Amino acid sequence: MLDKPVQQALRPLMTHAARGLVRLGIGADAITFTGFALGMAAAAAIAFQHFLPGLALLLLSRLMDGLDGAVARATRPTDRGGFLDITLDFLFYAAIPLAFAIADPAANALPAAVLLAAFIGTGSSFLAFAIVAEKRRLQSVAFPDKSFYFLGGLTEATETIAAFAAMCLWPGHFALIAYGFAVLCAFTIALRIAWGWQRFR
């Protein structure tokens, strides 16, 4: 829901930074892998209950996730880059709830499992819509620069990162945040199913 305005606000800064990275010879794929490594480091920190360092690594990871697309647009976007970006993003999103479950299994395992199940729903509806949209040669008006049809919802990347940040700042309330975000994910899944049902008649 917030991805488009946030991306529009950050685009000038990201474009400027991307030009500098291109001049240094740093490619989009290298940034994608760096962002993923930082995300896994964030998950490891959270699993060992180092929540604030985990948050810092998490935010750096998402900065890299924004920069890789900007660098790709400043050079030449590739299908391989788009594939790597979405695949590693989904692995990152799964790793954070898992890390909280490892940090405190007794309190966090069940809410983490519920949230991961919700992520499967949002992820599968997102990718299934993109596959059929590609087959029908549909173009996303909201996100025309993406490698594939980018379907929105109530819980996009911005909202997910905000929820992860809240979990790191208030780890004692992980269960409440996880259950609440899972409910929002359920609304997103229902919306996407409805959109697909109507769009793909």
Alpha carbons 21 and 32: distance in angstroms, whole number: 13
pLDDT category of residue 3 using cuts at 50, 70 and 90: low
Task: Show the tokens assigned to 78.
Answer: 């590739």
pLDDT category of residue 150 using cuts at 50, 70 and 90: low
| pLDDT higher at 14 or 198 | 198
Closest CA to 189 of 123, 92, 105: 123
pLDDT digits (tens, 9 = 90+) for 91-133: 999 999 999 999 999 999 999 999 999 999 999 998 888 888 8
Alpha carbons 110 and 133: distance in angstroms, whole number: 35
Alpha carbons 84 and 69: distance in angstroms, whole number: 11
pLDDT category of residue 147 using cuts at 50, 70 and 90: low
- The pTM (predicted TM-score) of the whole model is 0.89
Domains in the chain: ranges and CATH: 3-199 (1.20.120.1760)
| pLDDT higher at 40 or 198 | 40
Q: Assign 3-class secondary structure to the chain.
A: CCHHHHHHHHHHHHHHHHHHHHHCCCCHHHHHHHHHHHHHHHHHHHHCCCHHHHHHHHHHHHHHHHHHHHHHHHCCCCHHHHHHHHHHHHHHHHHHHHHHHHHCHHHHHHHHHHHHHHHHHHHHHHHHHHHHHHHCCCCCCCCCCCCCCCCCCCCCHHHHHHHHHHHHHCHHHHHHHHHHHHHHHHHHHHHHHHHHHHHCC
Average pLDDT over residues 159-166: 97
Alpha carbons 182 and 197: distance in angstroms, whole number: 22
Q: Reply yes or no on whether the pLDDT at 20 is more than 70.
A: yes
Alpha carbons 187 and 29: distance in angstroms, whole number: 33
Average pLDDT over residues 141-150: 59
Average pLDDT over residues 37-47: 98
